[in-house]
Structure 1
Amino acid sequence: MSIQWFPGHMTAARKHATDAMKSVDVVVEVLDARLPEASSNPMIHAIRTHRNRPCLKLLNKADLADPDVTAAWLKHFNSLPNTKAVAISARKPGEASRIPQLAQSLAPHRDDNLKPLRLIIMGIPNVGKSTLMNALVKKKVAATGDEPAITKSIQRIHLNPRLTLYDTPGLMWPKIEHESDGLMLAASHAIGRNAIIDEEVATFLGNLLQQRYPHYLTARYGCTPDMDGVSVIEHIAARRGYRIKGGTPDIEKASFTLLQDYRDGLLGRISLETPASRAQMLAEAKAKAADKADEMASDGAD
């Protein structure tokens, strides 16, 4: 299943973000620590590198992610040029207080009342940008909620004479290139429910969890290691007594249960991708594209 989600207001949001980039010093990109690369919008990278802006990558929701995997991602991101990465949980008091100083280290020339530091908060929907913004300002200035794409316009806030913040809407990109990225994003609730089928996303999640965290499925639902994603969902339906009219297992409800338990951290601390799994996925995609190009060239020669 190829998942795509690019609501109409995001076209305008992309233009506004591009315009705002002219006036900022550091891009603060909020990522989901459970899928840091899949939740990194390539358009944000293109916009900021065009303007040569440094990036502070915040791996938010770190309290939900596998700490060993998060450490590997931090090592990876901190090896990149013009980039600094830290893991945070914006919901925890005090976590956001580190952000201005970390961003300042990327723009040391902006450090007085005449040249205040200007930060732009960017990221895809539902990664916690608004929660972070509210924590930085220490009052509710951005709407938060459990549905993606709540914020729909850019707002500028002068936090103090030395710091200005720009908050942007969650920004997706027009085409998600890799199918697994779309499924990870959907599982993590970064994509509107009208664009996904819960059962297919839950099947993907069940398969992935059986590969990497089978003990969590056993502890929560009593699953066995031999089950695949479909069997996991069927087992959840049977275990919880989810039935529809006629006694048929309610697969839709069981699928939503698995997804919601993962999103809420009830299964345990889970990361859906690692630097190694990402590299393998990209290598396989490259090989597949090369095979397809060779096949097309062969057909053309015939």
Structure 2
Amino acid sequence: MDWLQRMNLAIEYIEDNLEHEINYEQIARIALCSVYQFQRMFSFVLEMPLSEYIRRRRLTLAAFDLQDRKNKVTDIALKYGYETPESFSRAFQNLHGLTPTAARQAGRPLKAYPRLSFQIILKGVAEMNYRIEEREAFQVFGLEDIYGMDNIANQDGITIPEVWQNISKNGEFDRLFHSLAGDWRAEGHFGKELGEVFAFDSYRFTSNTTFPYLIGCYKSAGSKIDGYTVIDVPASTWAVFSTLNDGNGSGNYDLRSLKNRIFSEWLQTSKYTIMDGGNFEMYCTHQGGDEYCELWYRIEEKKE
């Protein structure tokens, strides 16, 4: 069974259970991947979280149900997983722009989000350059927090871009920088273009709706790690993709588009599958001065 079939079967399961509890573990089993991998693949390819797709589909069907005045708002709310009419009304109004009661009136504008279907689309006109690296186990250290997959924010509501801004202002970034010791690039067998501070995420399971994210550095023999989280990175094969390939430098790279192409094009035609256990965003500076990013994914060959 190929990727396209698995994804459509997963969507079929979701659609069949919009009126019931949707089991993310079952979705992952159908798609032959982990819950985290399915959610990440879904969001990169469709550019929306899985939970948002489910919410839109349920509220689309709820709007249809409201056209029949025999259906009570309370019953419709319960049918699509809302514990109270008030929570259903808030969600409905956020999506459709009017209350469920107002939606019963003829002529009122409503939004409909159709069922998703994965289809083959001819892509690949633009080349994708990548490299495969084999690396022994090593360690990284840094500032760790847990983020929600839907809003990419921590428990305080602070998003990852905001965290980067905050540590640049409060001195934490500089403290990380000065925690490095010796010729860490040579010790870690990294190129001279790699920046001192990078991001490492999803290296351990936290829950089906969250992921860990670490802003940190390579741990060399003399690194000052007091107060930081230390993470073991297992010996792995890595697929490395660079934003230099899109012709943009000096930090003007588009990671979302690159991730979309990795999951919708490269991954579907290569002999590899992406593994759980951590992904890097490596921030680099080309010898000509352009800033760019490399995305590192742990991979293994697909099993027949």
Structure with the higher fraction of residues in strand conformation: 2
The TM-score with structure 2 as length reference comes to 0.25
Structure with the higher fraction of residues in helix conformation: 1
